[in-house]
Amino acid sequence: MTRLGDSVQRAGELLAQDLSSDRTAERLLTETGSRRYLDLSDLPAPEQAALIASRAVDVLPSEERLAETIEARRAEGGGLHVKLGIDPTAAEVHLGHVVPMIILSRFQRMGHRVTLIIGDFTAKIGDPSGRSAERPPLTDADIARNLAGYQEQVKPFFDFEQVGFRHNSDWLGSFGFPELVTLLAQVPASALLQRDDFRNRLAEGSGLTMSELIYPVAMALDSAELDCDVELGGIDQLLNMQMGRRVMEVYGQRPQMIVTMPLIEGTDGSGAKMSKSKGNAVALTAAADEVFGKVMSIPDRLMVPYLRAWTEWTDPEIELVTARMEAGTLHPMDLKRILAGEVVTALYGVAAAMTARAGFSARFSRRSFAEVESLPVLSLTEHGAEGVTAILARVLEFAPSASAARRVAKQNGLRLVVETADAGQVTLVLTEADALRPAAEVLPEKLAEAGASGTVYLKAGRRVAEVQGL
């Protein structure tokens, strides 16, 4: 059995146990957390390809071709050459940025050669992928500042001592105009304009600069320069990476294989991808208890995507816990605490994860909201005529917009909690339709239907406010 197979067998025994137990949680986090450093070179080529494909959106041309190429490189006494390009666009890195780094680490631990391309030249152009307007180009000072902390922040997910670094200014900075014209003569304009974001901007009359138009060609020259076997990147980079295949053919090289990674949804459950600007990201520099709390705030439907993105769990392990939740033998909250512990373990270790787990229980799992200090207050006398979604967005600021609050309700994350005189609690779900009605109408109606009386709280996700004026 392989080293990974041994670990999966041990973890499987723990996943069948009571995951609400701190002892079981600690043993599980120790087992799965250690996989981030596990030597995967004993995996057969088909299993290596399958492990990569299990976390990818696309493997092009195919998973089978990836396995064949791994086998061929082994026969030659080496491994694949895999590259990932990074544009240093921000000084602070969040969890969404490390998804490809985790897969790159797996390639690395399988015995393959990895090169990171620092896009110091292309960052000055600005990647237009998925944008509705031109991104302001970065200056040399911007790039230097953003690169300074990147390696240290991502270090928990990737071994930088076993990687090659290249700056694409080394070849793009000296690429001459005659060479560019010769290359562009072999790239159909339709290949550049097929992008949805370009077509949408042109249809709307928005600007589209020539530098943005040839950005994919500049990125493709990285592939030709390094002549790699595989390029890794987010699904939003697919067209850029396909241009890399085209340009490699122009240069008489064998086109690279492509592995695309998903763009992970942010913690607010709004459907938007994780982004610092949207306030739905988990910064790698955040304290352990903050990281734990943010993961605990996600809607239940994000648990499986997050397990797939940021843990070393295999598909059979995820299927096991999913089946247990469906069967009612595993509470979603218990699994979410394991997930939050996994993320903290990656950043700070098992001991910090267990401390954060205990701290979260002390702060947020207490029975009575009355014990929580400084809860915001919702006065129905003052705001009762407004819809619940509007109150959540504009009054309590529990959601960035009324539409985001509506999505919380749609996911059954909006509730009334009534604390009765005997210290009991009654929880009432507010539906999406309820959330659109005036609070002064729907809240008393829900309480009357349930026959509940006591101190009333409005709970949206993990945030709570006391309701007054009923």
**What are the DSSP calls for 261-317, one per residue?**
EPPPBPTT-SSPBP-TTTT---BTTS-HHHHHHHHHTS-GGGHHHHHHHHS---HHH
The set of residues, in sequence order, having a beta carbon less than 8 Å from that of 286 and lying 6+ positions away, is 294
Residue 3 burial (CB < 10 Å; 0-12/13-18/19+)? middle
Amino acid sitting at position 109 = R
pLDDT at 7 over 90: yes
Give every strand in the sheet of 164-167, ordered side by side: 58-60, 257-261, 230-234, 81-86, 113-118, 164-167
Q: How many Cα neighbours within 13 Å face the side chain of 386?
A: 16
At residue 39, the 3 state secondary structure works out as coil
The DSSP symbol for 429 reads E
pLDDT per residue as tens digits for the range 256-288: 999 999 999 999 888 889 988 888 999 999 999
Given a contact cutoff of 8 angstroms between Cβ atoms, the answer to whether 311 and 299 are in contact is: no
CATH code matching the domain that covers 1-35+277-365, chosen among 3.30.1120, 2.60.40, 1.10.240, 1.10.287: 1.10.240
CATH code matching the domain that covers 375-468, chosen among 3.10.20, 3.10.290, 3.30.160, 3.30.360: 3.10.290
Largest Cα separation within the chain, whole Å, is: 83
What is the distance of C-alpha 25 from the center of its chain? 23
User: Which strand (E) or helix (H) includes residue 165?
Assistant: strand 164-167
How many whole angstroms separate alpha carbon 30 and alpha carbon 121? 41
In CATH, 58-261 is 3.40.50.620? yes
pLDDT per residue as tens digits for the range 40-80: 999 999 999 999 999 999 999 999 999 999 999 999 999 99
How many CB atoms are closer than 10 A to CB 88?
A: 18
Per-residue confidence band for 403, with pLDDT thresholds at 50, 70 and 90 = confident
Q: Look-up: residue for tokens 């014990």?
A: 371
Per-residue confidence band for 341, with pLDDT thresholds at 50, 70 and 90 = very high
pLDDT at 132 over 50: no
User: Nearest CA to 236 among 263, 218, 209, 256?
Assistant: 263
Question: What tokens were used for 40?
Answer: 């995967």
Angle between helices 22-33 and 350-364 (to 10 degrees): 140
| Assessment of whether the complete model's pTM goes beyond 0.85 | no
Per-residue confidence band for 210, with pLDDT thresholds at 50, 70 and 90 = confident
The set of residues, in sequence order, having a beta carbon less than 8 Å from that of 65 and lying 6+ positions away, is 257
How many CB atoms are closer than 10 A to CB 28?
A: 25
Which segment, 165-174, 294-303, 336-345, 437-446, is predicted with the most confidence on average?
336-345
What are the sequence ranges of the domains in the chain? Answer: 1-35+277-365, 58-261, 375-468
Whole-number average pLDDT of the chain? 87
